Amino acid sequence: MIEIKLKPGKEKSLLHRHPWVYSGALAAPLPDLPGGATVKLVSAAGRFLGYGAWSPASQIRLRIWSFATDEIPEGDFFARRLDAAVARREHLGLAESGNACRLVYGECDGMPGLIVDRYADFLVCQFLSAGAERHRDDIVAALAERLHPTGIYERSDTAARAKEGLPERCGLLYGAEPPERIAIREEQLTFDVDVRKGHKTGFYLDQRDSRHTVAAACNGKEVLNCFSYTGAFSAWALAGNARHVTDIDASAYALETAMANYRRNGFAPERCEQLCGDVFQLLRKFRDAARSFDVIILDPPKFAENRGQLPRAARAYKDINLLACKLLRPGGRLFTFSCSGAMTAELFQKVVADAALDAGRNAAVVRRLGQAADHATALNFPEGFYLKGLECIVE
């Protein structure tokens, strides 16, 4: 196994078990290794720091599999890591309340670059790093052997692959092809999930807890759900006895799926209005028409892929939150989110506060929201915390 040294003084984050090593921290000469090759990382003084996966195309040149000298990533290593990740979800009791959850959350489960989501009897995987890609067959075999899914489908079609020098790829990995839509259960509600064409791996599993929070605030209310996708927030609002829900999304296909979800759960279509178009433009039209709502949900796509895009993203977040504040009736609830990892919780709250101020409204944070428990953030990897949300009362 190739041994790689850090430059002097660059080991602090590794001693705190952060799993990323940037190319600038590595001492020259750097080896010519294939993507995903396992290397032994040592300090400038020769102290063992960990075993990692080499990624020659990425600024994150090394992702650590293990910080233990006796835990080399080979043999049943990946099966053991998968067992541990699944056991964590079992301890959360998620199977009692539904049949869809995240089983493996990358670095937070000691499996850098690997995402595994369960949708009923199917698994959907993303291999987002050179290391995960190299051990793809071993990981799929371990998933099949231990979890016995009907099928395993790959959705490695994200921009993260390009940063690793890897092409996008989707397709069947094991077992039977998934149906066009997989029916999943979340508490008493059922949702159709398209794992081939849907966002992420098909569904926003990370918003599970926030959907329940929204439901509790919607009794008798008129609700506006922006960036509504397939209507999970709206369905929970209706389950919470919302009087009426308006969905806005740019995808007609997503809106059709949302309406199918409402019908599947017994919600009358007349309680739902759907608008296909640009959220920013439609919010301005609502403002100009003096339309108002009791509850507004803002769950936009990622506006910032990196820190360099933060200024532009902050302006976009402020714009939609300002418009939402103007559209809320006095005492209304604003549920607003950012899934941009580069956007800190502090900056996001400041952006929402500035939006309320510019709208001439007083707003107070009732509750801070975040990703569901199956997306738990490892304390040694704060980058795993990406979903920030605020529930605000707007006067």
pLDDT digits (tens, 9 = 90+) for 146-180: 999 999 999 999 999 999 999 999 999 999 999 99
pLDDT for 341: 87
Instruction: Specify the long-range contacts of residues 74-79, CB closer than 8 Å, at least 24 apart.
Output: 74/38, 78/111, 78/135, 78/138, 78/139, 78/142, 79/138, 79/142, 79/145, 79/146
Q: Give the amino acid at 245.
A: V
pLDDT value at residue 160: 92
Domains and CATH numbers, the chain: 3-66 (2.30.130.10), 77-182 (3.30.750.80), 204-394 (3.40.50.150)
Q: What is the pLDDT of residues 292-307, one digit of tens each?
A: 999 999 999 988 888 8
pLDDT for 371 equals 97
The average confidence (pLDDT) of the chain is 96
pLDDT for position 353: 98
The band of 228, judged by pLDDT with boundaries at 50, 70 and 90, is very high
HSE (CB half, 13 Å, CA atoms) of 177?
5
Residue 327 to residue 284: CA distance in whole angstroms: 9
Residue 86 to residues 122, 149, 199, 339: CA-CA distances in angstroms? 15, 14, 23, 24
Nearest to 112 by CA among 132, 141, 136: 132
Q: Bridge partners of 101? A: 118
Active site residues: 339
Tokens coding 8 = 């002097």
User: At 78, is the pLDDT very low, low, confident or very high (cuts 50, 70, 90)?
Assistant: very high
pLDDT 10s digits, 353-385: 999 999 999 999 999 999 999 999 999 999 999
pLDDT, tens only, 232-272: 999 999 999 999 999 999 999 999 999 999 999 999 999 99
pLDDT in tens, 264-285: 999 999 999 999 999 999 999 9
Give dist(CA 26, CA 3) in Å, integer.
11
Phi and psi dihedrals of 76, rounded to 5?
-90, 15
Rounded Cα gap, residues 296 and 287, in angstroms: 13
Tokens of 109: 């489960």
For residue 94, pLDDT over 90 is answered with no
- Is the pLDDT at 309 greater than 90, yes or no? no
Are 97 and 187 in contact, with CB atoms under 8 Å apart? yes
